Structure 1
Amino acid sequence: MTSPTPDPDDAPRTFLLRRGDSGPRVAALRDVLVRAGAADAAADGPAAEVFDEALERVVRAVQQERGLRADGVVGRHTSRALDGARWRLGDRVLRHVPGHLLHGEDVAELQGRLLALGLLDDRRDGRLGPRTEAGVRELQRSTGVAVDGVVGPRTLEALRGLDRSVVGGDPSALRDVERTAQARRRATGRVVVLDPAHGGPESGATGHGLREADVVLDLAQRVEGRLQAAGTTAVLTRGAAQNPTSEERAALAADVAADVVLVLHADALTPPGRDHDAPPPPSPASGVATFSWGTARSRSTEGARLAGLVQRELVVRTGLADCGSHTWDSDVLRLTAMPAVRVEVGYLTSPDDAALLADPAARDRVAEALVAAVHRFFLVADEDVPTGVLTVVPPPA
């Protein structure tokens, strides 16, 4: 797919590094990349301070390897991943600090070991949250180590002593499948959280007279009506005036015991330095893409399955270009325990996509595609139907 502009949620513009930038920050980026294992990022002399095409290729490769959006731009998500990549289990003492969660490859390795031992009921996301701390405490209780939730030398020694392999697949993937199976067995009571991006004063992407926040809220409301008509509870994370944080959106999904989460976005391809008040130039980027949670070490198997269903239904029912289904370690996807999919429903800077998204009838088709994908997600294999043929119940007039 054509690489889009960085997500506005990633970071302020001053935090970004991209091709064409230069200076000490670029040299520091090269050092971080080398420490993270990307030896091709090294350069000597004045070239070390230049973000050139070769460095962009290295950044894209690292992003792809780590389940990030491979746009070649170093924003908040990429910087966080690079910072965490330099740690190995045992390099530092690990402890849960509310509001300042440790993250890194060492945390992901710890989580993998706890999952294999049956001491963790969460995914391996590389962040030391309360569930990981609970797993550490259970490990300490079972091995006679002081129960403080801190991973120091004695806890690491106990962990190595219990190390064993588990046959039968990835424990977190198996839990994903079982969670979906439980929801499938319920004839009623399924809950879908609809998360329209941005909101309040934050418009998100813009183009051809459309604001991302308005488009995705309207789509969420159309999906809500159709889900409710079919007997599924739909919960929106915001209204027009609100802009919750990623943590608040994920917490709402947990509070209502959602079965799936749909995160709705629209994209834009904006040249660097363009005046945002000026009309967008013709954009080479168009189409729909979907993302489920994943990193180099782990992924949401059921999220990936739902993302594939959403992608196929949208392409068939709307005619939008197929930009594929991918994994991504974005905030809301990572913070939700249930299958979650981020949907980029088109590029507002594309004349064709913008014209489609401005049409109420086309928005109805987008909503029907999303609802059809959710319904198919809960069908057993021999009940599934071909893409594009499932009838969606319209909302009440």
Structure 2
Amino acid sequence: MQLLRRGDRGPAVVEIRTTLRRFGLLAAAPAPGSDDVFDGAVERAVQAFQQRRGLITDGIVGPDTYRALREAGWKLGDRMLALMVSAPMSGDDVGQLQTRLLELGYDPGRPSGVFDERTEQALRGFQRDYGLAADGVCGPGTLRALRQLGRKVVGGRPGLLREQELLRRAGPRMRGKRIVVDPGHGGLDRGVQVAGVCEADLMWDLARRLVGRMSATGMEALLSRREDTCPAEAERAAFANEANADLVLSLHADANRSMYAQGLATFHFGNGSGATSTVGEALAGLIQRELLTRTAMLDCGSQARTWELLRLTQMPAVRVELGYLTHIGDRTKLLDPGFRDVVAEGILVAVKRLYLLGQNDQPTGTFTFSDVLAHEINRNQAQAI
């Protein structure tokens, strides 16, 4: 779809206005003749919606914002829900179903709002246990059962507990853990390009350095793409899910119209309504702190987002934005192979810290690649005795 921004007008703007009014974000009565105008009030309403949904608050209705507007219009019970392989159903009603199933002890995965095979399996399990036809379809009978049981269920965050337990069971060793490293863009999509510097090439080089270090520790590190390809984010998430990865690390650089914008940011899944990946949030924080200590970049924070790669992966995923290529200082650093080595080491150490769970750890910025290797050798020797 076309991008809609302040100053645009037409039938698509009328649709956006109607949706925002339904959500209570826009006054019910626009000025006469202005219902098809994307004005300042619409821009502010879009920004408020984006803030709620973990999107970039730019006031522009692009594909991600339009998808979120469409999905937010569905409530559980508005329609029948089922697995559609060619075009999976998505919406807030799916997220509400996934949350209900989690509260009842079933495992549809993170409440992503997408009805996938894992959601269908959890729904069939619920239907079997409660004497319903186990057809994997959330229709009137299943909805009645969910509502009747809903009043008996105490709140809490079972998804959070499940992620934390899986992390604890994984143990501190790196060997055997499967990590998908996702260099942003690729193929014909070169990403940010400034002064002959290309995001896709820099991130490909960084990803190769990171994969090499991870493989040396015994981890199984997989690249999400080839150098000459650029899969969509949903395809990258599907690759990680099919590989049954433990973590996903997505590598990007940023750009801004201002030459002064600079700094490092990390992102994890979170939708602004309580659903979040707690392990992803923990890993994002660890990466942020390690890289800030090692690189002295400006701290742009660790933030929750609902971008597809973060939302559709069944395992914790973190996106790292390694500075702004439009900022001469950040760009100079990223062009230095030695700097990319420092970043690769910092990310590897952050992953190691995640699995250590605070045991036998060292101060931020002091753990080295050699320390990680030595730790793995000692672990292997201890297990062999």
What's the TM-score once normalised by structure 2's chain length?
0.90
Q: Does 1:87 align with 2:74?
A: yes
1:330 to 287, 291, 307: 307
Q: 1:178 to 1:198 in 2, by over 3 A?
A: same
1:151 pairs, out of 138, 141, 146, with 138
Conserved 8 A contact 2:180-2:224: yes
* 1:315–1:50 distance in 2 versus 1, CA, 3 Å: farther
Whether 1:284 and 2:264 are equivalent positions in the alignment is no
**Is the 1:229–1:394 contact (alpha carbons within 8 Å) kept by the matching residues of 2?**
no
Kept in 2, the 8 Å contact 1:287–1:353? The answer is yes
Out of 138, 142, 164, which is 2:129 matched to?
Answer: 142
Task: Quote the offset at 1:199 in angstroms.
Answer: 1.0
Aligned to 1:333, the other structure's residue is in SS state: helix
Instruction: Confirm or deny: 8 A CA contact 2:185 2:200 kept in the other structure.
Output: yes
Q: Secondary structure at the match of 1:158?
A: helix
1:216 is paired with a residue whose SS is helix
Q: Given that residues 95 and 111 in structure 2 are in contact (C-alpha distance below 8 angstroms), is that contact kept between their aligned partners in structure 1?
A: yes
Partner of 1:389: 366
Counterpart of 1:393 in structure 2: which amino acid?
Answer: S
Q: What is the identity, as a one-letter code, of the residue corresponding to 1:378?
A: Y
Q: Residues 324 and 185 of structure 1: is their aligned pair in 2 closer, same or farther, counting only changes over 3 Å?
A: closer
Aligned with 2:231 (options 221, 224, 244): 244
> What does residue 374 of structure 1 align with?
351
Q: Which runs of 5+ in 1 are unaligned?
A: 1-13, 271-281
Aligned match of 2:269 in 288, 293, 296? 293
Which residue of structure 2 aligns with residue 116 of structure 1?
103
- Conservation of the 8 A alpha-carbon contact between 2:248 and 2:317: yes
Q: Which moved more, 1:114-123 or 1:49-58?
A: 49-58
Q: Partners of 2:372 and 2:192 in 1: how far apart?
A: 28
Alpha-carbon offset, residue 47 of structure 1: 3.6
Question: Does 2:229 match 1:232?
Answer: no
Aligned twin of 2:339:
362
Secondary structure of 1:20 counterpart: coil
Q: Distance in 2 between matches of 1:91 and 1:395?
A: 52
For the residues of structure 1 that align with 2:42 and 2:174, how far apart are their CA atoms? 53
User: Per-residue deviation at 1:149?
Assistant: 1.9
Superposed displacement of residue 384, structure 1:
2.9
Question: Does the 8 Å CA contact 1:30/1:42 hold for their aligned counterparts?
Answer: no
Contact 2:174 2:217 (8 Å CA) reproduced: no
Equivalent position SS for 2:79: coil
Distance (Å, rounded) in 1 between the aligned partners of 2:208 and 2:281: 24
Counterpart AA for 2:263: G
**C-alpha displacement at 1:127, in angstroms?**
1.1
The root-mean-square deviation of aligned C-alpha atoms, in Å, is 2.3
Partner of 1:30: 17
Q: 1:252 to 1:394 in 2, by over 3 A?
A: farther
1:161 match:
148
2:206 to 198, 206, 219: 219
CA separation of 1:88 and 1:251: change in aligned 2, threshold 3 A: closer
Q: Tell me the matched-pair count.
A: 372
Comparing 330-339 and 141-150, the one that deviates more: 141-150
Counterpart for residue 37 of structure 2: 50
